[in-house]
């Protein structure tokens, strides 16, 4: 005798979710890249998931310029609904002209 109740329940849940669930059209993959405050365009390098800011727990991004010229570094943060929480264009989450070999840290404080 095989147990199929769990598999059937799981399959039913999957079908329900695919049929009645809604797709979110927000977040990093559906948001155009920003421009920095000096109007230079951004380049997407990495997407981090699971960024946290809750009570005393925060996330830090440590970025080092490995290029041969100074670069701009920016970090965009999205809330759990996919809404952008900061503005790189306004300087919130951006550092301009980071020297070669320099390291800068961004945090969700």
Rounded Cα distance between 38 and 35, Å, is 8
Q: What is the pLDDT of residue 50?
A: 83
Tokens representing residue 23 in the block: 């797709």
Rounded Cα distance between 3 and 12, Å, is 15
- Tell me: pLDDT of 9 over 60: no
pTM above 0.85, yes or no: no
- Short-list 63, 57, 58, CA closest to 75: 63
- Summarize pLDDT for 26-44 with one digit per residue, the tens: 678 888 999 999 999 999 9
């Amino acid at each position: 005798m095989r147990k199929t109740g769990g598999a059937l329940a799981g399959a039913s849940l999957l079908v329900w979710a695919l049929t009645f669930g809604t797709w979110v059209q927000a977040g990093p993959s559906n948001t155009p890249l920003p421009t920095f405050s000096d109007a230079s365009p951004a380049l997407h390098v990495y997407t981090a998931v699971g960024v946290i800011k809750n009570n005393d727990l925060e996330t830090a991004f440590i970025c080092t310029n490995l290029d041969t010229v100074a670069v701009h570094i920016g970090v965009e943060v999205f809330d759990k609904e996919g809404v952008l929480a900061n503005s790189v264009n306004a300087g919130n989450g951006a550092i301009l002209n980071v020297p070669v070999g320099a390291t800068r840290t961004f945090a969700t404080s």
